[in-house]
Amino acid sequence: MKNTQVTLVVPGTTKIEEVPVPKPGRGEVLIQVDTVGICGSDVHSFESGPFIPPKDPNQKIGLGHECAGTVVSVGEEVEDFKAGDRVCIEPGVPCGECRFCHEGRYNLCLKMDFMATQPNYRGALTNYLVHPASMTYHLPDTMSFLEGALVEPASVGMHAAMEAQVGPGKKVVILGAGCIGLMTLQAARLMGADDIVVVDMMEKRLEMARRLGATATVDASREDTVSACKAILGELGADVVFETAGSRVTAAQAPSLVMRGGKIMIVGTIPGETPIDFLKINREVSIQTVFRYANRYPMTIRAIAEKRLDVASMVTHIFPYGESQRAFEESVKNKADIIKGAIEIKG
């Protein structure tokens, strides 16, 4: 077997280099990767370097963490997997020993080893990778490898909607119709929200939002977001406002959109400081952030397998592994055209 990996040389430049085929240790599985989703964090790393730069300037930086593939072999003490099993993975490996791991909130683990970031920066854009069996999941026969790779971002949306306690009768505004916004939209719909208004500046994304269940959309490039949303939902505003764009502009709009006693859920990664007018939210409004997900993979896989969650439709571009450099260049240059991109490793 031959193994290669995509490595970020400098921002804007990647290379595919040959590396050894890893061997699964105790409790690990060796996976031949089939498909990897291109996350916004991958695009940021390609464009500007990792959010958290490595301390060692010689550290190799891999890309990609949304992946699915086939088990090739297993290490000692692995009983739930065998060669030939189709799987997807949770890319974060918690320590299992800190307070947050013991509380079941392992996404907050103090020593989390998350793919394509600290501490090891190993990426999923490779032919073969090893991963703990405990963070590996079987793919039902009804799911494709592409759908398996997108369990990861779908779990972000599911976690956000569940933490926000979306339910029947709730009014929701989602600021941003990128991949995470669209996943959050579908999760909110699954949980019974009555009205879901999605806001974005790109018509292609708004069209996809309507296709995936938004009851209304607002084109922020043409309309005032706050006025348009309240014209749809009423002057009280939304029970829950999700910020998924990772923008200070949309975050600053959220207090004007949420109703008394409602919740602002910050899902996006927002750089810098965002001024908040607390006079607009001093009526028992909650502001909460969410970080990735915890314990959401099983339910998300089930929802996708049962066709209650459509993750494949938002994939507008699929690139071959050998053209990974072009895949990232296109993801930077054509953000208005690419809703979700993926890279096929096999084939």
Are residues 233 and 198 in contact, defined by beta-carbon separation less than 8 angstroms?
A: no
**Chain-wide mean pLDDT for the chain?**
96
Least confident of 206-215, 239-248, 276-285, 299-308: 276-285
User: Residue 272: what pLDDT?
Assistant: 86
Q: Which domain holds residue 39?
A: 3-150+312-344
The enclosing domain of 211 has a CATH number of 3.40.50.720
Residues 65, 138, single domain; the answer is yes
Residues 72, 186, single domain; the answer is no
Residues 159, 146, single domain; the answer is no
Mean pLDDT of 212-239: 98
27 pLDDT above the threshold of 80:
yes
347 pLDDT above the threshold of 80:
no
Single out the residue in 256, 274, 289 at which a domain terminates.
289
Q: 60 in a domain, yes or no?
A: yes
Report the chain's terminal Cα–Cα distance, integer Å.
15
DSSP 152-211: HHHHHHHHHHHHTT--TT-EEEEE--SHHHHHHHHHHHHTT-SEEEEEES-HHHHHHHHH
Q: 93 in a domain, yes or no?
A: yes
Q: What is the pTM of this model?
A: 0.96
Residues 8, 51, single domain; the answer is yes
Least confident of 82-96, 265-279, 330-344: 265-279
Residues 213, 248, single domain; the answer is yes
Residues 209, 177: Cα–Cα separation, whole Å: 7
Cis peptide before 24 (omega within 30 of 0): no
User: Residue 161: what pLDDT?
Assistant: 98
* Residue whose tokens read 């969410």: 290
Residues 84, 120, single domain; the answer is yes
Q: 43 in a domain, yes or no?
A: yes
Q: How confident is the model at residue 341 (pLDDT cuts 50, 70, 90)?
A: very high
Q: CA angle, corner 205, sides to 91 and 238, nearest 5?
A: 85
Q: 302 in a domain, yes or no?
A: no
User: Residue 275: what pLDDT?
Assistant: 85
Q: 108 in a domain, yes or no?
A: yes
Number of domains into which the chain is organized = 2
Nearest CA-CA partner of 28 in 139, 138, 145, 129: 129
Q: Which two tokens stand for residue 306?
A: 């049962």
Q: How confident is the model at residue 337 (pLDDT cuts 50, 70, 90)?
A: very high
Residues 329, 271, single domain; the answer is no
Mean pLDDT of 255-283: 93
